[in-house]
Amino acid sequence: MSAPKRNIWLLLAMLFTAAAAFGLTPRHKIADSNPMPDFKTIVPAQFGQWRAVPGTNQVIDPNQQATLTKIYDQTLARTYENSHGYRVMLSMAYGGNQRDELELHKPEICYVAQGFVLNEKTKTQLPLASQTIPATRLNLTQGNRIEPVTYWATVGNTVINSGYAKKIVEIRYGLLGQIPDGVLVRISSIDDDKNSAYKIHQQFADELLAALPPTIKTKLLGGQ
């Protein structure tokens, strides 16, 4: 084959590859057709045995807040208290674009960035709302403060608990030309007894989910 013809075939191959890559690039954001309602509207300040405590929003480092604002379309941070005076901190974050550069930030990263020490991290299966989902539990300290944390995250319609699982879901949506959204739910409390705290976290999550509309419950737990 002559050099001119070889160059033409190389050029055509390059153009085909570029066209294929363009065609497979995700462009449709799920959030555009199925947006997440405002957390402050759909998450009740009172449900089950829990009542939101006024004026107790969690304090976030300004640098962390700037990062959260860039990544998430909306966030919610509230402290709830039951009749025994036990307090639980709820944090929810939603991002309409879960590509790599804008993916949900893991709580352990955010806590450590604010000076906490991560003492323990365990994967668990959390029974919630008649189903079981993968979740993560953390045990963190900052000085005398001991804070057990329970959290889970969804990408699109799947609950994920690892970077590998997240990448698989992202690829699946990418092949359909879609960009998945994501939700992170974090529940924590200041408690020296981590095992007792984790049980309360689960009770809190159950009561919270029971108070939410079915469509939102599905969004938080995965599924269509």
Q: How many CA atoms lie within 13 A of 105 on its CB side?
A: 19
**Mean pLDDT, residues 93-107:** 70
Report how far residue 157's alpha carbon sits from residue 36's, in angstroms, rounded to the nearest whole number. 13
Residue 103 CA, chain-centre distance (Å), reads 9
Report how far residue 122's alpha carbon sits from residue 38's, in angstroms, rounded to the nearest whole number. 31
Q: What is the pLDDT of residue 16?
A: 45
Percent pLDDT > 70 in the chain is 75
- The answer for residues whose C-beta is within 8 angstroms of residue 21's C-beta and 6 or more apart is none
Q: According to the 3-state scheme, what is the secondary structure of 183-209? A: EEEEEECCCCCHHHHHHHHHHHHHHHH
- Mean pLDDT over all residues of the chain? 82
Report how far residue 150's alpha carbon sits from residue 199's, in angstroms, rounded to the nearest whole number. 10
In tens, the pLDDT along 1-56 reads 555 555 555 554 454 444 344 445 556 777 676 778 899 999 999 999 999 998 75
pTM of the full structure: 0.81
Nearest to 209 by CA among 196, 219, 223, 195: 219
pLDDT at 147 over 60: yes
User: Which of 63-77, 80-94, 150-164 is the most confident on average?
Assistant: 80-94
Report how far residue 24's alpha carbon sits from residue 43's, in angstroms, rounded to the nearest whole number. 37
Q: Given pLDDT bands bounded at 50, 70 and 90, which one contains residue 119?
A: very high
pLDDT at 57 over 60: no
Sign of CA dihedral 214, 96, 67, 152: positive
Strands (E), the chain: 28-29, 46-47, 50-52, 74-81, 87-95, 117-128, 131-142, 145-155, 158-160, 178-179, 182-188
